[in-house]
Amino acid sequence: MSAWEKLAALPRELVLTLVLIAMIIPTLHPLGLPIMTGQMAQDWYDTVDALPEGSVILFDIGYGSGGYPSLGPANIAVFHQFFEKDLKVVIMATALEGSMMYPLVMEGVKPESNYGAVYGEDYVFLGYIAGEQTAMAGVLGDLPALVSTDYTGIPIAQISILQDVAGADDFDIVAYLTTAGGTSEGWVYQAYSAYDKDVLGGFLSMMTTSMKPYYDTGQLLGLIDGVKGAADMEFLTRHPGDAIQSSDVLSFTQTLVIILILIGNISYFGAKASRKEET
């Protein structure tokens, strides 16, 4: 086996070890590498920033433990912006694990101590609502008919933020973060198409390809693109957190992947040329 052929067939263990090292180094020693804020996250930020104080946001936690490393930091950053601007936030979960994500996010935001927000007056969590698009249609169609209590069992008649919220007309904007394909397109269908609501969406990076056409046409006014988008939001909201630190990991790991792809191709053509010379 020639040197080129050896280079083209590096052991799997070696490649995986290199990837692991590329992840560990920036995790242990964050370098604070520069990032460029994307337009999609900037549009999300600007859209929320333009909302008047007291506007009501319907926010869906559409991810679970698998999506938390990517979307959790984004969720914390966007909530910081919501509470800083004194917006009213009605939170629901279309993901089964969403009700477990809610306390994790709130521990990061601390709306009471950081912003003086009051549960029930400034924000409320309705918990998990089964049915994905049926749940979206139900909440936007007739919220009091679908939901009788909040996550903790308080009747919605006793929750002041929900006194003037009956359905889509009472929400100024719909925002969501999700790892589910059905949910990502579902909110566009149920909120934008059916009620002409302004919609903001955030997804895993691998889903951005399929969701960006909705952003390009204005059906999504802003888009958070995985960890990169989360880092952008942390930067824009001036609340640096896990996502900005993860950007260093992304930079290291993806640079390594590019190097590996180039090594694979150079060695492939090198081996091909050496075989030609031999014949």
Partner 1 sequence: MDYKRDIPLVITFIVGVIAVMDYYTTFSAVKETFTIIKNWGVVLQAFALGLGAANLFRVHGKRISDRKTSEWYFSAWLLFMLIVFVVVGLGTGQFEASSQYKWIYNAIFLPLGATMYSSLAFYMAIGAYKILRARNIDSFLLFATAILVILGNTPIFPATFPAFFYTREWIFTAIVGGAYRGIRIGIGIGAVVIGIKTLIGMETGYLGRR
Q: Footprint of partner 1 on this chain (CB under 8 A)? A: 10, 12, 15-16, 19-20, 23, 33-36, 38-39, 64-70, 96-97, 99-100, 103-104, 129-132, 134-135, 137-138, 141-142, 145-146, 151-152, 194, 205, 208-210, 212-213, 216, 228, 231, 247-248, 250-251, 253-258, 260-261, 263-265, 268
Which residue lies nearer to partner 1 by CB, 50 or 96? 96
Which residue lies nearer to partner 1 by CB, 80 or 228? 228
Which residue lies nearer to partner 1 by CB, 87 or 192? 192
Instruction: Give the C-alpha separation, 211 to 207, whole Å.
Output: 6
Which residue lies nearer to partner 1 by CB, 56 or 263? 263
Contact 89, 57 (CB under 8 A): yes
Q: Estimate the crossing angle of helix 39-49 against helix 226-236, to 10 degrees.
A: 50
Q: In the Cβ-directed half-sphere of 172, how many Cα atoms lie within 13 Å? A: 15
Q: Burial letters for 128-141: b for 16+ Cβ neighbours within 10 Å, e otherwise?
A: bbeebeebbbbbbe
35 contacts: CB under 8 Å, gap ≥ 6: 228, 231, 232, 235, 244, 247
Q: Whole-number minimum distance, CB 119 to partner 1, in Å?
A: 13
123 contacts: CB under 8 Å, gap ≥ 6: 83, 88, 89, 90, 91, 111, 117, 161
Helix residue ranges per DSSP H, the chain: 3-8, 12-28, 39-49, 68-84, 98-109, 111-115, 133-146, 181-187, 194-195, 205-216, 226-236, 242-278
Which residue lies nearer to partner 1 by CB, 13 or 53? 13
Which residue lies nearer to partner 1 by CB, 3 or 145? 145
Which residue lies nearer to partner 1 by CB, 122 or 185? 185
Residue 11, SS3 per DSSP: coil
* CA 160 to chain CA mean position, Å: 29
